[in-house]
Amino acid sequence: MPLTPEPGTGHVPPKTADFGPSSTDPCAASPAVAPAEGAGWAPVALPMGASAAGRPDAASPSNAAPPLRVVFLGPPNAGKGTQAAMLREKLGVPGITTGDLLRREAASGTALGLRVKGIMESGGLVDDATVDEVVREHLRQVDLRRGFLLDGYPRTRAQAETLAGILAAAGPLDAVLLIAVPEEELLRRALARGRSDDREEVVRARLRVYREETEPLIGYYRRLGLLREVDGNQPIEEVGRALLAALEAHPV
């Protein structure tokens, strides 16, 4: 599936907020169970209300904290970007969004960046193979000892398998956080924004793409024992507390 912030829009949108390494979702996607067999770890537990200031410095060998590698999953308008930014601040874990990665790569002047820039400037969709390459290059360069919160990738089973391969040397994912919201509420949220491209038929088309291409990842990650599902149809602060609780339920 080609990368698009909200399937069907045809563009990677301009950056709307700067959260350092991450931002709100620019690429718009079961009870808690034990970590994947053989993974050897689960998410790091932090007290409710813990902040980045209270998290040990991963760069210091004497205070090294176990890395926390998390993927956000959910449909367009579920609030993944908002929650990812909030968790990044709470846990002190770097945030990564594919939209930000593509914009940075396009501005880098590298051969890969020039390819991404050409696709974006032409109004085309960035293909999966190019997105895979951008994500792989970024994760190769960052200090994975600090972990990450990844929003906007993977979107297909093939990309999930690519991500597993990228992480093979550094260690597997710790959790996949699914923010579940009823479709009619997702539609209501989209239409309430009043954007010209948020017509009902367009929003329903995005949701159809999500169901067909991304929703199967729910079963895939549940079978791996990584899925943590949270009710996203509640106030933002309540969703955030539920996500923290889902991580704390499976401490290292």
Please identify which of the residues 69, 80, 103, 228 carries the catalytic annotation: 80
Instruction: Reply yes or no on whether 90 is catalytic.
Output: no
2-19 burial code (b ≥16 CB/10 A, e <16): ebbbbbbbeebeeeeeeb
C-alpha–C-alpha distance, residues 118 and 130, integer Å:
12
- pLDDT tens across 178-207, in order? 999 999 999 999 999 988 888 999 999 999
Q: How far apart are CA 114 and CA 106, in angstroms?
A: 6
Please state whether beta strands 95-97 and 148-151 pair in parallel, antiparallel, or not at all (unpaired).
parallel
Please indicate whether residue 115 is annotated as part of the active site.
Answer: no
Q: Which tens digits make up the pLDDT trace of 93-149? A: 999 999 899 999 999 999 999 999 999 998 888 899 999 999 999 988 887 777 899
With left for phi above 0 and alpha for psi between -120 and 50, is residue 197 left, alpha or beta?
A: alpha
Among 196, 149, 186, 201, which Cα is nearest to 43's? 149
Q: Which of 10-19, 211-220, 226-235 has the lowest mean pLDDT?
A: 10-19
Model pLDDT, residue 197 = 82
Bridge partners of 148, per DSSP, are 69
Average of per-residue pLDDT across 232-251: 92
- Residue-level pLDDT at 251: 56
Residue 11 has pLDDT above 80, yes or no: no
Q: Coil, helix or strand for 72?
A: strand
Q: Which residue has the higher pLDDT, 7 or 210?
A: 210
Set 195, 208, 211, 223: catalytic member: 195
The chain-wide mean pLDDT, for the chain, equals: 79
**From 69, 88, 103, 155, active-site residue:** 155
pLDDT at 161 over 80: yes
Contact criterion met (CB below 8 Å) for 241 and 248: no
| Percent of the chain scoring above 90 in pLDDT | 58
CA–CA dist 173, 68 (Å, integer): 8
Q: Of residues 88, 90, 206, 228, which has the active-site annotation?
A: 206
Count CB atoms within 10 A of the CB of residue 216.
Answer: 13
Provide CATH code, domain 54-244: 3.40.50.300
- What is the pLDDT at residue 146? 79
Whether residue 204 lies in the annotated active site: no
Please tell me which residue in 140, 188, 193, 223 is annotated as part of the active site.
Answer: 193
Q: What is the pLDDT of residues 24-79, one digit of tens each?
A: 343 333 333 333 333 333 333 343 334 343 444 434 434 555 678 999 999 999 99
Please, what is the Cα angle at 137 between 29 and 149, to 5 degrees? 40
Residue-level pLDDT at 81:
93
